[in-house]
Copies of this chain bind each other. A is one copy, B any other.
Amino acid sequence: MNRPRALIFDVFGTVVDWRNSIARLAGKALTDKGFDADPLAFADHWRGLYQPAMERIRSDSQDYVPLDDLHLENLTQTLKHFGAAAAFDADECRRLNRAWEQLDPWPDVVSDLIALKEKTIIAPCSNGSIALMTQLAKHAGLPWDCILGADIARDYKPKPIVYQACCNALQLEPGDVMMVAAHNDDLEAAQAAGLMTAFIPRPVEYGPNQSQDLVSWGSWDTDITRFRDLVRLL
């Protein structure tokens, strides 16, 4: 294995705990409007619409729009599902949609990224937009060197162009870049695009009954338990 010259990270689930953060922020918004919906169920429903929305763009049935736009459409559907659509006007929906900019990192993430940044380039390779990732980095204190991902490629992971566009932006060969993710399918696509791969388990990303991605199932270059474990490769 090469010494990685850059580490690129999946973000939702790998770096930040979207489920509890969205549940907390959406739960408060719903309570303020007098609804007593289960906030975790609300978060799961909202996130459940994520892959189908991106699939329209991956399959070329819709032109690229940033994830913020898809999140907003999905929020409207989720509010309808919970019978709360009429209670939120357009401005309130846009404000609640910005919950995705206020996700909290998993423990040790910030200090570990700071340690990795001393040694190499670190950047998100997320389906989140540059705007979303920039605001999220400010909220969570993520010390990225630059923001890469879907907006650079104008398409969504796991399409190979997203990983390739990150490498191109850094002017590095895919074989010199390592993708870090808590999702085996993300790593499978990165590996197929020629990148090195590191798996980190986030066994409660989807809650205590999570059944997927509890362990790595591919031949990844390394398995880690926290980001700081990557320092030994640098």
Q: Quick one: given A68-B171, A121-B138, A171-B68, are A133 and B146 in contact (CB under 8 Å)?
A: yes
Interface residue? A134 (CB, 8 A): yes
Residue A103 interfacial (CB < 8 Å): no
Write out the residue numbers on chain B whose beta carbons fall within 8 Å of the beta carbon of A137: 145-146
Q: Chain B residues with Cβ under 8 A from A138's Cβ? A: 121, 145
Which parts of A164-219 form the interface with B (CB within 8 Å)?
Answer: 169-172
Is there a chain B Cβ closer than 8 Å to A7's Cβ?
Answer: no
A34 → B minimal CB distance (Å): 31
- Check if B130 sits within 8 Å of A170, measured CB to CB: yes
CB neighbours (8 Å) of A152 from chain B are: 152
Please report which residues of chain A, range 131-155, place their CB below 8 angstroms from some CB of chain B when the two chains form the complex.
131, 133-135, 137-138, 144-148, 151-152
Chain B residues near A146: list those with CB within 8 A: 130, 133-134, 137, 144, 146-147
Residues in chain B near residue A131, CB distance under 8 A: 169-172
Of the candidates B66, B68, B145, B151, which one forms a contact with A134 in the assembled complex, judged by CB atoms under 8 Å apart? B145
Can you sample 6 A-B contacts with CB below 8 Å? A123-B134, A130-B170, A131-B170, A133-B146, A138-B145, A146-B147
